[in-house]
Structure 1
């Protein structure tokens, strides 16, 4: 359905959409700046290395993230495509985290099964939620005072699905953070008395720092989502406060997924490259890993 109107009562809506587009543009610029900043590392640590699952995931998250950020500026038109891209990107990030944790837990089958079961359950629900939202949403093309917009409205039957997805995603992030911290504590205890423990300790530090930073960004996103959901004026209004909160939420989501997400791989590979530059250190670390039965994968598999 197309609505054409020059009614001045639509002006707050026009201003709200226009104001939101500034934040989407800022998010896109941020992703492009981070890509330009790390492109040299990407060439050396990704493109020129042996290809693996992590290589594919890194390139997918990085470059589909750029596309997502660009389409986000047209989110009122491309909302269906963006929903599916978001679910796909989130799944890829979780596969990266599963691979890291599987390596940190020395290939533990129990940990792998736990993570895969949780991964499948949450992602299947997210996919079903997107389908239900598509089936129970109505959209209108708005031509307001010469501007083109798309209005999307969900029915009450699916309005709660977004909150349920957010809760499940939070459960996943908390679970992976707890598993990361737990194995880190265990490794530090095992290496406390070893004379060369600093090498593997530095590796664990890299893994923990990148994961904790990623989790902190998720917490920031969750806080903004919670504030918007609990405030009727922010969730449904076109006030300046509502647009500012929604705009910062859009920026944080893009930063979490498409800036910090690729760094989960890039940070570890950068550390591995530094070890390779010193063959004596690499040989010593490998020997220590076998002697102590502590396996920390820092290569292209993480």
Structure 2
């Protein structure tokens, strides 16, 4: 394949992936818009509602930039590099926001234990510092990554990122982040095991929300693990098609799943047989009437 053919091949992939990213994000937003109006805009705002709005609309902004960067809309080389840095810093910030949501859920699962909250936040701060350091080292130095303008014809140009170091620094930086996610998953599973044991002794069905939250922790762990792997692979010399498929996953899956995991719990709660919602922790405590007991009990949920 000649150099011209390789450039056209890469440009075709860039444009197609950009269109797919924008289409997926818009389609997902339209699917969830009715529920968003019902569970966010028509109700009193809460901490989780604000977190939802940030991950939803900041995610849409990032996705639009992901889609147009490269070749879909022409940008000068200097502008493209600045936007590339913004995209990577924005994606790291997005992952941090998703971690905050998981921390908030665990805080609810552990009966709003401040000790758990302080431990999680204390361990989370080094993770944030690691994200910042990783973005400075990997994405904010021209000696590590740069943008090259490729001229196919005088009227056909696009920009591509060039990586100047191997994948090992990205691998080393991702290990503590993955370990922190494992810690969150373990805490969630411990709560679930204890909850299932208690419900079995009382001959009651497990709380739907506890099961959902733990399941979502596991889903997010798998998602974040895959995202960290995808970031690492971008630093390796992989074929064009595989590279853009990795980019498609990295630039869409986290931005779609994170807000869905929040709103799906609200949707389940709305269809549940709740007779009282706590005013101190609106989306986290619900009185339900289990068939095995005559008196209602507290079911913790978020």
TM-score of the pair, normalised by structure 1: 0.79
Question: 2:14–2:244: 8 Å Cα contact kept in structure 1?
Answer: yes
Partners of 2:230 and 2:247 within 8 A in 1: no
Within the candidate set 54, 58, 70, 1:64 is matched to 58
Using the alignment, how far apart are the partners of 1:142 and 1:182 within structure 2?
53
User: Within 5 A, what are the aligned runs for 1:1-302?
Assistant: 9-76=3-70, 77=80, 78-132=83-137, 133-135=139-141, 136=143, 137-145=145-153, 146-156=155-165, 160-195=168-203, 197-198=204-205, 201-222=207-228, 224=230, 235-237=236-238, 242-275=239-272, 282-284=287-289, 287-289=296-298, 296=300, 298=301, 302=302
Mapped partners of 1:223, 1:75: distance in 2 = 22
Shift of 1:64: 1.6
Structure 1 unaligned regions, length at least 5:
1-7, 230-234, 290-294
Q: 1:92 to 1:221 in 2, by over 3 A?
A: closer
1:141 to 1:32, Cα distance in 2 relative to 1, 3 A:
same
Q: Report the alpha carbon displacement of residue 14 of structure 1 after superposing the two structures with TM.
A: 3.4
1:53-106, Cα deviation, whole Å (9 max, x unpaired) = 211211111112122111112334221110121011111111100000111111
Distance 2:149 2:55 in 1: 31
How far apart are the structure 1 equivalents of 2:163 and 2:243?
18
CA displacement at 1:140 relative to structure 2: 3.4
Rounded to whole Å, the distance in 1 between the matches of 2:68 and 2:217 is: 31
Distance in 1, matches of 2:177 and 2:171, equals: 10
Provide closer, same or farther for how the CA distance between residues 250 and 139 of structure 1 changes in structure 2, counting only shifts above 3 A. closer
In 2 relative to 1, CA 120–73 (structure 1 residues): closer, same or farther, beyond 3 Å?
same
Number of aligned residue pairs: give it.
Answer: 274
Q: Deviations over 1:94-121 (max 9, x none)?
A: 1100000111111223322232122211
Q: Which has the higher contact order (CA 8 A, sep 6+)?
A: 1
The one-character-per-residue Cα deviations of 1:257-284 (angstroms, maximum 9, x if unpaired) are: 2111012211221122223665698353
